[in-house]
Amino acid sequence: MKMSGARILFECLKKEGVDLVFGYPGGTVINIYDELYNFKGIKHILPRHEQAGTHAADGYARATGKVGVMIATSGPGATNTVTGIATAYMDSIPMVIITGQVPTALIGNDAFQEVDIVGVTRPCTKHSFLVKDVKDLATILKKAFYIARTGRPGPVLVDIPKDVQIAQTEFHYPETIELRSYKPTVEGHPKQIERAVEMLLAAKKPVVYVGGGVVLGNAAEELTAFCRLLGVPVTTTLMGLGAFPENDPNSLRMLGMHGTYYANMAMTDTDVLLAVGARFDDRVTGKLSTFAPHAKIIHIDVDPTSIKKNVRVDLPIVGDVKGVLVRMIKVAKANADKVANLKEAMKPWLEEIAGWKAKHPLSYKHAATVIKPQYVIEKLRELSNPDAIVSTDVGQHQMWTAQFFGFTKPRTLLSSGGLGTMGYGLPAAMGAQAAFPERQVITICGDGGVQMNIQEMATLVQYRLPVKIVILNNGFLGMVRQWQELFFDKRYSQTCLDLPIDFIKLAEAYGAKGFQATKPEDVEAVIRKGFATEGPVIMEFKVAREEKVLPMVPGGASLNEMVLNA
């Protein structure tokens, strides 16, 4: 049976198991939306801005492990998705972005709302396609989903001209796809895996360093089992939080610029470092020449270009982290005597780490008259559901959440790590809530970042998405202000948000509820009320204006050169 390109698009999405898309209509996708009008089996959510819709698709993908889908029209609609695409690209999030394009005959003629979105997004996608013939559409969409979800995941853009959407052809969806130039390595080399376990079992001061690849690869269970089998200390990146339970005695929590004292000290002194699904980002390594100076480094990653890119690696293993860890567990179990010897040899190391934990735990000074933001985070953890999904915006609140929430499960923290995108938190939570209507979803934002996509309050109310929005309001662009205080003699250039916003009235204007706390004794009551209230809720906390995120490794410093008090 012949179908239009627009109909083929939705048939392909259905074949790929897509049940929800985000999108914003416009002239070059009007045929797609006309087809959607009668199409059954795919739910659509209309955001109030294409950037927010792309972040929502990202949040949906992070929370579910599925491919997120966003539809946008050509020109400004397409360019509005770029920040969301770049955010997903930096954090390896599987997404397919469908953009409309002017008719093929007009491409290159500066037609109304024409933009070369394939060229624009080439640096921040795994691949971008321009569909020139409706006969190629189904195969291209199959390729797009395959590329997005395999290997190191990432966003793929498919640009569909208006005439391709209208044209008709026979619909055939390929069962499998072969790409000669794209063949990710999935199986880790058996000998390399054996050598890696041997190196760990011979160590005296091992550390396992876990990145977002463990979460994306659905390997948290295997990672936890392997680390507990060996009894080794484990530290995670921001993107890896939840991959290893932070309430485990061997958890060092997060490392890096705002990581724990004991994680950074352990990384400085370790003799064997196992990196799993991490990319040695500059926020993690600090000064490269002094990073893990005594360690032999083992690096497991599905992306071969991530290995040896930033640091020297003694033993690379290219492969799917889940499969590699399963094999490592088998090798370790086959060497039970050596595992016992490792545990004995590590006792002084674990005692040293325990000393660091006791000397410099994550802490803050309580105040009787002002709300400390860390206290709000701790109360949120205490009062929230065990399986709550938390998204954050970017800034101080993001780091306080990473430090004090205590994540124990994968896919429960959604945060822009690589790109550091303000405005991410609220729409990402929207995507997660759409994926899991019955689960508790909380977004933690600052008063600066929340306003970058505050219009999505309307989307939350319209679709009855009960996201709980926590605003830590200090009247500053807090993270930049902190740097200005510490390194620029308190010259607060353009970081003071002088115009106070009544977030409670703002919530009510959108048809939602809002509650505010101005004193420490109000915090728990506001959280309880917010959680108990149906629908989306804004909970605003007027927090200490000049509170800093500590510890902190200054730019260009070594991990053991932390600012602990300031």
Which of the residues are catalytic? 50, 112-113, 162, 479
Question: What DSSP assignment string belongs to 514-559?
Answer: EEEE-SGGGHHHHHHHHHHSSS-EEEEEEB-TT----SB--TT--T
Omega before 551 within 30 of 0, i.e. cis: yes
Distance CA 350, CA 268 (A): 15
- Which one-letter DSSP state was computed for residue 72? E
Tokens in use for 449? Answer: 């970042």
Distance CA 479, CA 142 (A): 42
Q: Residue 60 belongs to what H/E stretch?
A: helix 50-64
Tokens in use for 136? Answer: 């190629």
Pick from 33, 17, 44: which is nearest to 431 by CA?
Answer: 44
Distance CA 536, CA 539 (A): 10
Distance CA 263, CA 553 (A): 12
Pick from 193, 132, 186: which is nearest to 159 by CA?
Answer: 132
Phi-psi region of 556 (alpha: psi -120 to 50; beta: other; left: phi over 0): left
Distance CA 256, CA 267 (A): 9
Contact 77, 50 (CB under 8 A): yes
Q: What is the amino acid identity at position 488? A: F
Distance CA 414, CA 431 (A): 10
Contact 438, 452 (CB under 8 A): no
Distance CA 9, CA 488 (A): 53
Pick from 461, 454, 445, 448: which is nearest to 390 by CA?
Answer: 445
Q: Residue 379 belongs to what H/E stretch?
A: helix 373-383
How far is the CA of 346 from the CAs of 232, 233, 360, in angstroms?
A: 8, 10, 21
CA 461 to chain centroid, in Å, comes to 25
Determine how β-strand 2-4 pairs with β-strand 168-170: antiparallel
Token look-up 């190391």 returns: 349
Distance CA 411, CA 521 (A): 32
